[in-house]
Each structure stands twice: as C-alpha cells, then as structure tokens.
Amino acid sequence: MIRYFNPLQPIGSRLHFLVAKSQLRVGVLASSSLSSARCVALLFSAMLAAFVSSNLSLAQEADKIYPRAGAAAAGKILEVTRNGVKMEIRGVNENYASNDIQRIVYETEPPQLSRAKELILTEQWDDALDSLKKVDTKTIVREEVKKEFLFYVGFVQAQLALQGQGDPQVADASLIKFVQADAQSFHFYAAADALGTLAAATGAYDKASQYFTALAGAPFPEYKMKAQYMLGTANLSLGKIPEARTAYGTAISASADNADAKRYQKMARLGVVRCDTADKKAGEAIKNLRTMVSENDATDSQLFAQIYNALGEAHRQSGQDEEALLAYLHTDLLFTSDPNSHAEALYYLAQLFSKVDPQRAADAKSRLQSQYASSAWAKK
C-alpha cells in the first residue's frame, strides 16, 4: 500500500515514519555499491530537510503576535479579551497583555490588511486607508479577521479626521460599529481612546468623558493615566475646574512604572497649571510653565505645544498680548505634530494678530479652516 507524507502530521509521528522508511532505504542501499557511511549521511539529510520544511510551512501558516518589544511569536490564538491574548505556541499557552501587543497578523488575513498594519506603524495614514480599501471583504472567512478589518478602518479614519483630512462623524460611526461587533477585542481600549479624542477635538466634551471613563477601566497604568489626563482636560474645557483638578490629581498620585505613564503625569501637572490660570492665578501659572519649559525635553512636541499654549493663555489673561503672541507662535512654528494644540494656537494667533497685523491674522484663520475644518477651534 502506498503511504503519502502528511505535512500536518505531528513531528514525532513524522520522524517515526521517516525512520521506518529509512529502514527500507538502508536495506536497498546496502545491496548497492554505496558505503554504509554514505547511507547514514543521505538518511540524515532527508530527515533534516523534511523536518525543517514542514516546520517552516507551519510557521508561515500560523497566527503571529508582534509585541512592542522582542521577537514575534507564531502559533494559534486561543482567546482574546480586552486585557490580553492567549496563544498556543508549540503546545504551550502564552499570555500577552493588550498594552504589550503592537499588532497581530492572523493566518489567511488579506495581504492588504497586513500591509495597512505595517503602514500604520509609521503613521502613513493615507496609504494605510488606500490599502484597506483594496481588501475584498467577501474573501474574509475568519470572524477575528472581519473584526480586525472593522477596527483598522475606523482607527485610520479617526487619525485622518484628527489631522483635518477626514470626516469625524464617519470615523466615529466606524469605530462604534467595531465596538458593537466586538466589545471584548484587545483593540477595545485603543478604540475608546480614539473615540474620546475625536469627541474632544470636535468639542463634544461630555461624550469624550464617557469614552475616557471606559479607558480608565483598563488595568494598565499608562492607559489609566491618559484617561485621567483626558478626563481632566474635558472637564477643564467645560469649565468644571474642581472636577478637572480631581482627575489630574488622580493621574499625578498614581504609581508610574513606565515611560508612557510618566509622560502622562507630566501632562497632568500641566493640566493643574491650566486650572490655576482658569482660577485667575495667571502669574503663578506663568512661573510654573517657564519651569516646565526648562526642565523637559523639547523633542516631546505634544507636551511642548500644550505648554506654550498654556503660556499664551496665561499671558492673555494677564493682558500681555505680545507675550501671548510669541507663545502661540512657538506652537505654530515648532510644535505642530499635535493637531488639536496647533488648531488652538492658530485660533488665538488669528485673534491676536487682528490687532497688529491683519494679513497674518487672515493667514492664521485660513490655515485653521483649511487644515482643521472639523475641529472645535475652527467652529468657534
């Protein structure tokens, strides 16, 4: 009877099968002119080639988890929750926390989806969306991949909307559709963050608070701190100063055990200073903000944009328009990577320049309307 090699057969069984075949092969070779040493060498080469080939095939077909640090892992995903993913790797179950996962590439997922995930790593949002548009969703059979596709479409749309290049309502609807389809996805917290940030950027601060409250339910310190910082900022924007101070204080007093958590603590301290300005303590705020400028790394563009905007706010309250103008110009000329902060700076530059340079005021207003048309600042 003819026996066929099964690449999905367990490795141990395959080796036994190869050994059995080798016994027959050795008998044939022994009757030939080949030496016994060459028989052994040929046998070993055949076994090694079969072993390596079959395992490479299995690795190529497996699900893959790419952690934020370390090498990718290939295996079979067994369970997915908001807080983590369980994967079977060579018979052993391994757990990966959601905040440690950079991305997952599922077996048989469309290559255009995999490509979009790669483009997102370098914030190539337009190209990522183009790649997602090429996905033929009719070919997606696996439920996990269908939900992955929903998330990434909404997430990319949100990033484009935040940069003024997309429709916030479309992005919001896409992310809501994803959450409704899979509220236990390891992407849940990223979706809540994106939804809250979109809501805040468009001035829907009450709605933003709901999403950031969901983010605060994460077990990860950096997620909790970002949520408290954003809750504080939403309350500050609504004029709820005591509530803002409480949220900022929660972030500041928490234990920070990684760089992201420590960064959000810095931003929460900045939020407290902005509360001081709102409480008519502009002089004290200006002093603290200048200390923050000297003590922090200017490569953190988002942090410095918010520091200089806060300086501009404090100087405006003190009737120091020239100093306020210079502060907002720092954001406009040096720290433009955070769309909401840049939009805020352009809004106040248009107001301040209207008193001294109408042409530059018109330029600032024009850039605000063209770059951040959907932002709360463009609608004021």
Per-residue pLDDT, 42? 47
Per-residue pLDDT, 201? 93
Contact 350, 140 (CB under 8 A): no
Q: Which residues contact 93 (CB under 8 A, 6 or more apart)?
A: 78, 86, 87
Query: 357 in the Ramachandran plot: left (φ > 0), alpha (ψ -120 to 50) or beta?
Result: beta
Per-residue pLDDT, 164? 87
Pair of tokens at residue 125: 């949002």
Contact 256, 262 (CB under 8 A): yes
Per-residue pLDDT, 98? 97
Task: Please name which of 160, 219, 173, 172 lies closest in space to residue 196, comparing C-alpha atoms.
Answer: 172
CA–CA separation, 101 vs 86, rounded Å?
A: 12
3-state secondary structure of 258: coil
pTM of the model: 0.80
Residues making up the chain, counted from first to last: 380
76 beta partners: 88
CA–CA separation, 88 vs 96, rounded Å?
A: 11
Mind giving me the DSSP string for 121-142?
Answer: HTT-HHHHHHHHHT--GGG---
Per-residue pLDDT, 336? 96
Per-residue pLDDT, 317? 95
Query: 189 in the Ramachandran plot: left (φ > 0), alpha (ψ -120 to 50) or beta?
Result: alpha
Contact 54, 13 (CB under 8 A): no
Q: Using CB atoms within 10 A of its CB, is residue 98 exposed (0-12), middle (13-18) or buried (19+)?
A: buried
Q: Which helix (H) or strand (E) holds 246?
A: helix 241-253
Per-residue pLDDT, 374? 86
CA–CA separation, 89 vs 309, rounded Å?
A: 49
CA–CA separation, 42 vs 39, rounded Å?
A: 5
pLDDT along the chain (380 residues), means of 10: 34 39 40 46 48 42 91 96 97 96 96 98 97 96 96 97 92 98 97 97 95 96 95 96 97 90 94 97 97 96 97 97 98 96 97 96 96 90
